Amino acid sequence: MNKAIRTISVVIVVMFVSLMANATYGYVARTPALSNDPTNRRVTDAEFGTDRGTILVGNTPIALTKPVNDRYGFQRSYPQGALYAPVTGYYSYLYKRTGLEQTQNAQLSGTSSSQFMQRLVDLATGKRPTGATIVTTLDARAQQAARDALGNRPGAVVALDYKTGAVKALVTSPTYDPNLLATHDLGASKASYDKLNADASKPLSNRATREIFPPGSTFKLVVSAAALASGMTPDTMVDSPASLPLPGTTRPLSNSGDCGGTQITLKQALQTSCNTAYAGIGMKLGADAVRTQAEKFGFGRSDLLPQLGSAKSTFPATLDQAQLAQSSIGQFDVAASPLQMAMVGAGIANNGVVMQPYLVQQVRAADLTVLETAQPQKFSEAMTAANAASLQDMMVNVVANGTGTRAQINGVRVGGKTGTALTDGKNAPYAWFVAWADNPSVAIAVFVQDAGVEASDVSGGRIAAPIAKSVIEAMR
């Protein structure tokens, strides 16, 4: 063989090797990204012709695929649609995917890297691909109790196992039926989406994780943690005047009730939710200390629950003293999601350690082989164990003797903090309650955006605390 022929042979071999390497890389490495690209219409058509995996709560399907006699062959269905819509999201030909349908799409459609070998087997045997099953962390009893207790009032409830970070309940109201968008009648799907999207009550919004609101006095938990970190104790005396002049303003800050004197302990300040005491504490600590404490609980981060997505809770970057005073009682520009406030309660209950929230417990192949299992992970260390224990006792006192008495449960140690957040003056105040229990080990944030009563009757203790109680009792 002469030199020219050898050279051409080598070039051809190199080209074939390069082609095979590129094809292999494209199939192995790029398939998940291309398959999950919501603009890939060819993949969308192919997916609608596959047996998409099931989403479970315990052993109960909350999203499944049924064979149908149309061009796609399979129809996505949500047996308890509205109850779990904030979690499952929807799977729609026209409007793609949201919720777990989006974040777990690779597993549900059978295109994840952990299902690579199964795809090869299916290809070799000619078997139709089947998606994996997603097992959520949700507790059906907690989810139903939260939904029933919240009712039709706009708001949200989030419950976390504070020892692991597992999401036990995630409810938002108003909600919607994802079956309306999953239908293969594309005209009906479009009409439903347009109606939902035009609804002023925003049923497609996830108030639990993807929206933020003034947390009101529940933010005093963050300020309490910062105060304890500074060396204060529950017995430290703090000023609690009936009215507190704010620097640079002519409008003083007042309390919603009697704090119990002009000087009270930090413990009593939380018990009575004393505004002037916490405004003074915040100004004494300084904005940086309060902000740092908030960030330890997760403020400013968008990775609170990657499996659903979460909005960043905020504490203002720059504040004058008057603004700091307002911020220290959860007003001014402080804003938090119910998920974030549940994490605050969870970190306190878990001896200062905040666990990473997660919603997927297991991924199982069609043959029930376990492909993935979640392992609890630490999100942050927000407090020392000693300070967390002190704040736990302070929260228990709030439920036993303070503004949170409607959350009391016989035989269960419950800690809580109420919140009533003022809005723009046109809308009713928001009602909040952040709580935890020792049996079961759950932390809960309840947010009621509109209680449907006169503004003067809105309070976290009256409106939100009973909802938390209902969830805890359902889990026992």
CB contact at 8 A, 178 and 193: no
Residue-level pLDDT at 112: 74
Which residue do the tokens 């392992």 mark? Answer: 375
* For range 241-249, the mean pLDDT: 94
The verdict on domain 216-358+376-475 having CATH code 3.40.720.10 is no
Q: Does residue 24 have a pLDDT over 70?
A: no
| 192 catalytically annotated | no
190: Cα separation from own chain's centroid? 28
- The candidate with the shortest Cα–Cα distance to 256, out of 276, 239, 237, is 276
- The candidate with the shortest Cα–Cα distance to 97, out of 56, 66, 135, 52, is 52
Which residue do the tokens 């796609």 mark? Answer: 72
Residue-level pLDDT at 366: 83
Confidence of residue 47 (pLDDT cuts 50, 70, 90): low
Q: Does residue 295 have a pLDDT over 90?
A: yes
* For range 91-103, the mean pLDDT: 96
Burial of 464 (0-12, 13-18, 19+ CB in 10 A): buried
The model's pLDDT over 392-431, given as tens digits with 9 standing for 90+, comes to 999 999 999 999 999 999 999 999 999 999 876 667 899 9
Q: pTM of this prediction? A: 0.89
Active-site residue (options: 217, 224, 459, 470)? 217
Boundaries of every domain in the chain: 216-358+376-475
Stronger pLDDT, 119 or 356, i.e. the higher one: 356
Residue-level pLDDT at 40: 63
How does the average pLDDT of the chain come out, rounded?
91
Alpha-carbon distance 340 to 215, whole Å?
10
The model's pLDDT over 420-454, given as tens digits with 9 standing for 90+, comes to 998 766 678 999 999 999 999 999 999 999 877 77
Residue-level pLDDT at 306: 95
**Amino acid letter, residue 12:** I
Residue 135 phi, psi dihedral angles, 5° rounding:
-105, 115
Structure token digits, residue 159: 């419950």
Q: Does residue 115 have a pLDDT over 90?
A: no
